Structure 1
Amino acid sequence: MIRSRSNAVADSVLVTGVTGFLGAHVAQALLRRGLKVIGSARTQAKGAAVRNALSAEGADISRLRIVPLDLMKDDGWEEAAGSSAYTIHTASPFQLEMPADPDALIRPAIQGTRRALDAALAAGHRRIVVTSSLCAIDGGRRDDSVRLGPHDWAELEGEDVNAYMRSKTLAEREAWTIADRAGARDRLVVINPGTMLGPLIDDDPGTSARTIQRMLRGKVPMAPDMVLPYVDVRDVAEAHVEAMLGPNAGGQRFIVSNPAEPLIAIADGLRADLPERAAKLPKRRMPDWLTRIVARFDRSLSSNRAYLGVRRHYDLSGGIALLQRALIPTRVAALATAQSLIQRRLA
């Protein structure tokens, strides 16, 4: 049974994973627009930390409420959804080094998506926005002559498909299956972002900023030929809000990213923009033969070898249309990451 939305919750948004890099930026974007946010956190301490961090950024945290939700448990989901009119589901486990057991990423991703969708649909939410990933589109694909778009899906039997690619692909497919089964496809929107960079909201660099952090610390003497699509987290957060509010966004997937760039291009940009850090930043691309050797001892490199040397191309028009403007360039996003790390004395 679908419940009607009362005026008390009509401007409230359930944001899962509000303590994460993206989740905190989504909450900030919503609060900036005068909306109320019910943010999920796994622990009270994490919830308090994100409240303090958002307050320090100037957000009005009087409209932010933290609730405990677990991707693997039913407790609290019905109540949280019943207190809001929209869901933005950003919560999903992510790490650079793939776990020995792939289910450590896959099971929480799928079960969390199922709980978020089921609760939101039962509560009659107007729009449900799910954070997927570009890897749910390009995973397992190595043909650089193909222009990948929102109608493409990862080939999970393809070469070098890791647990994270599987988790995001299977979780997104689960979201569409649930929406279709409920006859609510037009209420679901999925955002497929590239690798997120941009300013930190707290002192936890998380996974996304770790590569920039390592380069600034001089831990990357040569840059592997890692070619990734990058995007500023602020654009991804705004895309979620636009997808939630846009009357014509329902039932669509949106790629939100800049074109793919090699890691050495990121390093070159940082060297030019931060000359005082130039000596620590890599100046050369690592030869492929050396990369293969290093990957035997570097789990983060071996876990992401699918992006080594492959120049993928994407149809990026959907994200631009959703935001109705050009995206923040990758070089600007990388510099914002680096400046945040330096200002917070994390690099």
Structure 2
Amino acid sequence: MNNQNAKPLVVVTGGSGFIAIHIILQLLQQGYAVRATVRSLKKRPVIEAMLRQGGLTDFQDLSLIEADLTHDTHWANAMQDATYVMHVASPTPKLNFKNEAEMIQPAVDGVLRVLTAARDAHVKRVVLTSAYGAIFAGHPHRTTPYTEADWSNLDAKNIHPYQKSKTLAERAAWDFIKREGDGLELAAVNPVGVMGPVLASDYSHSNVQIQQLLDGDVKAVPQVDSGYIDVRDVASLHLLAMTQPQAAGERFLATTGETLSMLDVANLLRAAYSQYADRLPQKVLPNAAVKAAALVKPQLRMLATLVGGYAETSNAKAVKLLGWHPRSAKTAILATAQSMIDLNLVKPI
């Protein structure tokens, strides 16, 4: 940075997103300046409201800049004077798509656009928000916990384009660094299902299941196991991946290491919020029924690829290498529920 006394500047892409907001919150609380990219500057009031809900009162070190992952415009300006970049923005999974390229190409192009601009601006390190989807897919006979050494097998059958997009985007990022990074450092964070406090009515697709359960919209759950992680711990892992020398060139699986079924999640909610007990499901759908329904309901296609699948994960690398210690899955799930209740996002009893 030009002014040696100035705070280190961190660019956070997709500044209004669920994970991005919690990263911005922690960065500002820890004394960094933040420049968040958004597709429209009209999002500033929403972003400030979410940060305020998260406990922030001073916005003087936060600036916004318009930049779209699908266009080259403004990315050079976005990166100017930045020390670090958190590339969190990603296309939201399309539930009804015409072809795979609609989901895959924007993710790959977007990551290359951000990395090119970061390299050209002499940024020190980029932390990429990748996904568990770049790790677990296409391994039908798995019997040992997934780790950062694993990559989704895109040659396997029934890989959803969302998992392909995450895998190919992260692969493209590592290839870029290797071939034309010119000293730019990269670290990746691969979260499992992200829970934790929502700060507004606009939150990530992983949280929607909690609202649907509490609203009574789910009469029976599919047999889907998953890891869960609190968004606050995803954010703290990003900051460790950004600052710790040993994190350069590494990917980190953001998971508590626990695995819960969707019925386990419903039962956690039932125990904590007895007033919603009658709304919460107690039955499990047969796998065949979910797969059959997905043939006529595009929104179930990704879910259908997950039923009956193995989902054990390990967080040993992040714990050992970075000293990261996440909250429990139960804490993360109940924090989601409580925040939704507090914000009146759940149908009243």
TM-score (norm 2): 0.93
CA distance in 1, matches of 2:116, 2:44: 24
Change (3 A) 1:221 1:149: same
DSSP-derived class of the 2:220 partner = coil
Worse overlay, 14-23 or 150-159: 150-159
Give the superposition deviation at 1:61: 1.4
1:299 match: 298
DSSP-derived class of the 1:61 partner = coil
Give the superposition deviation at 1:104: 2.5
Matching of residues 182-197 of structure 1 within 5 Å: 182=180, 187-197=185-195
Select 2:113's aligned residue among 107, 115, 119.
Answer: 115
Change (3 A) 1:342 1:302: same
Give the superposition deviation at 1:163: 1.3
1:327 match: 326
Amino acid in the other structure paired with 1:44: L
1:284 match: 283
Select 1:21's aligned residue among 18, 31, 36.
Answer: 18
1:48 match: 45
Change (3 A) 1:248 1:74: same
Give the superposition deviation at 1:162: 1.0
Gaps of 5+ in 2: none
CA contact (8 A) 2:237 2:324 kept: no
CA distance in 1, matches of 2:78, 2:4: 16
Give the superposition deviation at 1:313: 2.6
Identity %, equivalent residues: 31
What is the number of residues matched between the two proteins? Answer: 344
CA distance in 2, matches of 1:239, 1:176: 19
Give the superposition deviation at 1:332: 1.1
2:27 match: 30
Change (3 A) 1:292 1:174: closer
Change (3 A) 1:266 1:216: same
CA distance in 2, matches of 1:70, 1:218: 37
CA contact (8 A) 1:140 1:155 kept: yes
CA distance in 2, matches of 1:98, 1:195: 21
CA distance in 2, matches of 1:296, 1:41: 36
1:129 match: 127
CA distance in 1, matches of 2:183, 2:150: 18
Amino acid in the other structure paired with 2:214: L
Give the superposition deviation at 1:316: 1.8
CA distance in 1, matches of 2:201, 2:94: 18
Does residue 345 of structure 1 match 2:344?
A: yes
Q: Deviations over 1:195-240 (max 9, x none)?
A: 1111112221331211111111111111100112211111101100
1:208 match: 206
CA distance in 2, matches of 1:8, 1:307: 50
CA distance in 2, matches of 1:265, 1:339: 17
Q: What's the RMSD between the two structures over aligned residues? A: 1.9
CA contact (8 A) 2:229 2:329 kept: yes
CA contact (8 A) 2:17 2:203 kept: no
CA distance in 2, matches of 1:184, 1:338: 45
CA distance in 2, matches of 1:107, 1:48: 31
CA contact (8 A) 2:67 2:73 kept: yes
